[in-house]
Structure 1
């Protein structure tokens, strides 16, 4: 497919072609010309509508969040598939590290309070800003697949960007879309000294199944049922084209857990009990998937938190207490003294 990387270019080209086709239709002087232009106009109309829906489905992250500049924090830029911005808080003591990935249309500033909780526990912190978010480079077509690939590249390039000799263990914390990215990342992970340091994932109200989002998109765009399969095939083609570093997706189940990813490590799942953004079914699906895993030497702890909401929860005492207790159990003899 050509011009796939640009969100509105393909629908614009089909619309322009359709307008020209209609002009020739009006000017047709014979039955043959009329029949050909009618057929061409129908084909162009069909493709224009599909591409318009596709363009509307690839929502842009929109307005970026402001950057915070508190003392002790550093900014760094990483030239990966997309240029990525990260905020980091390190000192010269060997400590556990947590890498935090924010949610959709969020940024490092939204994770600052969570990060401060980890710092008070005596941990190094990195906040990864996804493509198109915060100070990271904008992307014409945003996908979670691209975000996962970029985070994978980021993780593999931690050394020498950061002094990893000062890192004893690594925890990964993903909120909402950040959780979906970490689920895929865990499937992409290979084996080296940095991966071997990973000793736990914290997923907070994570998105786990794209098919649920797909169902909502169909309703929002008023896509007729008889065109859903056609729409999915076109959407799949766009996704595969803009994500050449991922295995091609064929069926929609492949963008749901467990095919999209699962966690083969210690996992803490924290869920807003009243999730007004994603609801409970993403959580329920992940509970079922993780409970079925046979790697019994890994722990799986789940918590429904009544006081927690999906958004607007930069500060939450109950969530922070759960995380602190869970992490403390796993860092053993590492320093818990405030950084």
Structure 2
């Protein structure tokens, strides 16, 4: 299968080779040919690093299956997005849940069942390239966020809005990052209702440290990194069809990424063996600003792990107490 991420790398390599051959045959001075080769390889190497930086999730985890749970597919720009839902027949709170990177609905199913046991509607949304959803050649959290946004605005097709008493969002890791952006949109409607609150579990809050991790992992030379970042943003803008929409990596960090002004519960694994504590610390910093005070309740838990923590009583107790305070239980 052709990998579109490396189209420019392949083109750059071919053009550099072709230019070298042509100018050599034209009896161009060796020095000039050498300069052409160096310039061509410089840009080709950058395109290679840009291509591999559009990480794909890889091997998928299966979607959750269980009695009372139903799959519904929603089309987003030709990409089918799968949801796994358990819906009531009478007015009840609605919880939309989004899993993390390289996970699926099965990864958050135990959390979901905690809510269904208490009479909630639950809809688990599977990100593109995850679970049973379709895939993008250029995967990104932003494109996945737009897919989730498209799905939640169409939920009235599977649930009667009159049967929804309130709407909450639960995001784990990458799902939390997506939720921070969605919840910042005051115009967002979920099954024709505004979003009332969000729960974040060990959320990603910044893309910049993720990019630094990618750059270090692939050993991108320091002298290339400024150009590499600019080129990466350009390619990203092209992938979403909005040339010039984004210009700096910092725009994918909170607060620029989004600062929801509604009740937020953040349950944080301590230590966070996957993301580190920087994402959590950034969340605390942003919500300690005077204009953002009073929205965030943060609960660090040493008993919680970032990955594999499907059942955790301390987390469940924290959620229950917070929702009781919110008047939602």
The TM-score, its normalising length taken from structure 1, stands at: 0.90
Q: Which runs of 5+ in 2 are unaligned?
A: none
State yes or no: 1:327 paired with 2:323. yes
Aligned to 2:126: 129
State the shift of 1:218 in Å.
Answer: 2.2
State the shift of 1:149 in Å.
Answer: 1.2
Aligned to 1:211: 208
* Selected match of 1:300 from 296, 314, 323: 296
Q: How many residue pairs end up in the alignment?
A: 326
Correspondence list, 1:195-234, <5 A:
196-234=193-231
User: Retained in 2: the 8 A contact 1:170–1:198?
Assistant: yes
Aligned to 1:63: 59
Q: Which runs of 5+ in 1 are unaligned?
A: none
User: Retained in 2: the 8 A contact 1:149–1:245?
Assistant: no
Correspondence list, 1:11-90, <5 A:
11-24=9-22, 27-28=24-25, 30-32=27-29, 34-81=30-77, 82-90=79-87
1 CA distance for matches of 2:276 and 2:228? 25
2 CA distance for matches of 1:265 and 1:50? 41
Cα–Cα, structure 1 residues 247 and 191, in superposed 2: closer, same or farther, change >3 Å? farther
1 CA distance for matches of 2:144 and 2:28? 52
SS in 1 for 2:288: helix
User: Retained in 2: the 8 A contact 1:169–1:331?
Assistant: no
SS in 1 for 2:113: helix
State the shift of 1:14 in Å.
Answer: 1.6
2 CA distance for matches of 1:238 and 1:15? 18
2 CA distance for matches of 1:14 and 1:6? 14
Residue deviations 1:95-127, cap 9 Å, x none? 001000000010001010000111112211000
2 CA distance for matches of 1:162 and 1:11? 46
State the shift of 1:146 in Å.
Answer: 0.5
User: Retained in 1: the 8 A contact 2:177–2:203?
Assistant: yes
Aligned to 1:148: 145
RMSD, matched Cα: 2.1
User: Retained in 2: the 8 A contact 1:7–1:140?
Assistant: yes
* Selected match of 1:8 from 6, 9, 30: 6
Correspondence list, 1:252-271, <5 A:
252-271=249-268
Higher relative contact order (CA 8 A, sep 6+): 1
SS in 2 for 1:302: strand
Correspondence list, 1:267-278, <5 A:
267-278=264-275
Runs of 4 or more above 6 Å deviation: none
2 CA distance for matches of 1:109 and 1:152? 21
State the shift of 1:246 in Å.
Answer: 9.6
User: Retained in 1: the 8 A contact 2:161–2:192?
Assistant: no
Cα–Cα, structure 1 residues 246 and 127, in superposed 2: closer, same or farther, change >3 Å? farther
Aligned to 2:103: 106
